[in-house]
Amino acid sequence: MANIKSQIKRNRQNEKRRLRNRVFVGKARTFVKKARLSIEDGSVEEARQATLNAIKALDKAAEKGVIHKNNAARRKSRLMKRIHAMEKVDAE
């Protein structure tokens, strides 16, 4: 436990930020998982909608600075790659 007044305040601020950031990270993780599962199930429309929700959540997290913008871009790219592969197989 810190004895210095400024460090005590800094610890309070860090805890508030950590709790606020967890919301955005958790939502992004949940939506990405749902998108992956719907892609594996094979329902094209459901997978497309879930992917759009995941992309929105990743963009929001990156915008808030919770995750790095390149991290969000990489994860969105991988999701889109999977959905396009699924659509290609479905079209054949």
CA-CA distance, 51 to 32, in Å (whole number)? 7
Q: Side chain identity at 46, as an amino acid letter?
A: E
The more confidently predicted of residues 90 and 88 is 88
List pLDDT tens digits, range 45-84: 999 999 999 999 999 999 999 999 999 999 999 999 999 9
List pLDDT tens digits, range 6-56: 999 999 999 999 999 999 999 999 999 999 999 999 889 999 999 999 999
Of the chain, the end-to-end C-alpha distance in Å amounts to: 63
Q: Are 44 and 92 in contact (CB under 8 A)?
A: no
Query: Domains of the chain (ranges plus CATH)?
Result: 5-91 (1.20.58.110)
CA-CA distance, 79 to 73, in Å (whole number)? 10
CA-CA distance, 26 to 32, in Å (whole number)? 10
Q: Please give the model's pTM, rounded to 2 decimal places.
A: 0.86
